Amino acid sequence: MATMEPVSGDPKKRVCYFFDSDIGGFHYGPGHPMKPTRVRMTHSLVMNYGLYKKMEIYRAKPATKREMTQFHSDDYIEFLSKVTPNNMNQYQKEQAKYTVGDDCPIFDGLFDYCAISAGGSMEGAARLSRDKCDIAINWAGGLHHAKKGEASGFCYVNDIVLGILELLRYHQRVLYIDIDVHHGDGVEEAFYTTDRVLTVSFHKYGEFFPGTGDLRDMGSGKGKRYACNFPLREGITDENYKRIFEPVINQVMESYRPGAIVLQCGTDSLSGDKLGCLNLSMRGHANCIRFVKSFNLPLLLLGGGGYTMRNVSRAWAYETGLAAGYELGATLPINEYYDYFGPDYKLDVRSSNMEDKNSVEYLERIKNVVLEHLREIGGPPGIQMTDPPLLPRDEVDMDAEEEERRDPDDRNRRLWDKGRQRDDEYSDSEDEGLGGRKNERSHRAGATTTNKNNENSATGGNAAMTAEGKRAGAGFGEDEEGEAGGDVGEEDEDEDEEMADNEKMEEARKVMASVGSVSAGGVGAGAIGGGDDTGDAAGRAKSTDAGEKTTPGPVPTTGVAGPSNVTNGASATTAVQPGVPAGSGDA
């Protein structure tokens, strides 16, 4: 039977976990090593271990074209939104321009896949910035190779850069740490000439993709010494990795004093990865998360590389448990991917006997150079901060704070923290919801969503309705009586709100443009422009919850279901039904 035990001495954290069930239905193509199904495998373990009781689970609003163009060029995002396998021959010139083809193929639902990945990272960053959680997790994110106007290394849209931009609205300095086997070149390039983001990457270097990340690459201009690279050789072990990781991060925290941390947890650094060449065990990899968490700063955990699916899902499930303050038991619970984990069916990835080519002398020499560069920073840079401009969701958040101060009997029961089971609560039946309680309001909100979607279908709908109307119908505008907002008779009010939103969006872009001096290929004022999408401001959603909270339900025991709306348009946000452990009892 699957078990989990609280980590002794570990303070409890508020954890928000983002997952979209559609992610498992995308496919890069036959023979391609990148398989998005690994995220769904991870989620299956998370749910069947019972971790859903210890954190809040959300389905993020997919990122819009306008939000993506805060970093990426308008024409590149427009190309991604239009190209499909059926019309790709019409875009041969663009494919060469944007390096889309072999490593980054065009597949069905490509733009929706990018929107889900980026949306989760941006929603997580928004909730961290607004102190709605201490740790946000998006295993569908971490695509660190994508450039401003170019796909690279299986990555199309750089969700990490978009998430960091969201954090920079509220934090003077952000630290980015990358433990993927490949260098985080896309993120480093984006912030190469600014001191507001310090990037640290531990990676294999030398005749290895992407070929960047030399020890001497330290940033330029205002960002000099704010890019830190630790080049590794093949076969590094847990002990040697810990020997370099902890001193470097300690020095970074002392010299830079970030306000928030983004940690890219690529699992291709694990032993036995199909494309990696390091030799970390699951616990050696997870030690990085444990150590970074100990600094008690807002933490955004993202996925990344990882091409042996059974090991990827093991590691990310285990690290989800650590984030929530629980050590998962060694015996895997029964889940829909149970056969993948044979023959031992254990939650473990062990190191192999491969040779470690990183000698102690080599590691000490590189570590000393890196530490000296970090000491030369001479303390955190001073940043002149102003109050961030209000976006539409900020007003909703202020309303929510007033709601918190009201009589509990009159308070809206859709508050996100109602879905987490207390440690001293036990349920006789998992099938009847958490603690035997059903969320009837969520049921009514879901019915409202169905009705609105049916009305849209009957009237033909339009592209804007896909991005805005369905989110409003999914319970984002719900009043105290549980009825969905945005009734048909409120067109005049909606028009006034839209005009106000556009004004606030212009203010937001001005703040984003003040991030600092950046490289031509990075984030600059020119990159933070409006795209063609008119649905959203240059921040996150208009919802207090910054995403749709999910309600536990039964886990399917069949194979992966394809996405319900893998089309070239924006995905509608509908309620997710994550599962309750099948056949494992109460964890």
Q: How far apart are CA 241 and CA 245, in angstroms?
A: 6
**Orientation angle between helical segments 392-404 and 491-513, nearest 10 degrees:** 110
Q: How far apart are CA 286 and CA 270, in angstroms?
A: 10
Q: How far apart are CA 370 and CA 216, in angstroms?
A: 9
Residue 112 in contact with residue 567, Cβ under 8 Å?
A: yes
How would you label 380-408 residue by residue, b for 16+ Cβ within 10 Å and e otherwise? bbeeeeeebbbbbbbbbbeebeeeeeeee
The type of residue at 414 is R
419 three-class SS: helix
Residues forming the active site:
145
HSE on the CB side for 287, CA within 13 Å? 17
Strand-pair category, 260-264 with 174-178: parallel
Beta-bridge partners for 147: 150
Q: How far apart are CA 96 and CA 446, in angstroms?
A: 44
Query: Which among 506, 523, 531, 527 is positioned nearest to 161, based on CA atoms?
Result: 523
Residue 56 in contact with residue 17, Cβ under 8 Å?
A: yes
Q: How far apart are CA 287 and CA 531, in angstroms?
A: 40
**Orientation angle between helical segments 238-256 and 360-375, nearest 10 degrees:** 10
Measured in Å, how far apart are the chain's first and last C-alpha atoms? 8
Q: How far apart are CA 11 and CA 29, in angstroms?
A: 43
Q: How far apart are CA 392 and CA 381, in angstroms?
A: 31
**Orientation angle between helical segments 74-82 and 110-129, nearest 10 degrees:** 130
Q: How far apart are CA 239 and CA 366, in angstroms?
A: 16
CA geometry: angle 327, 306, 34, nearest 5 deg: 135
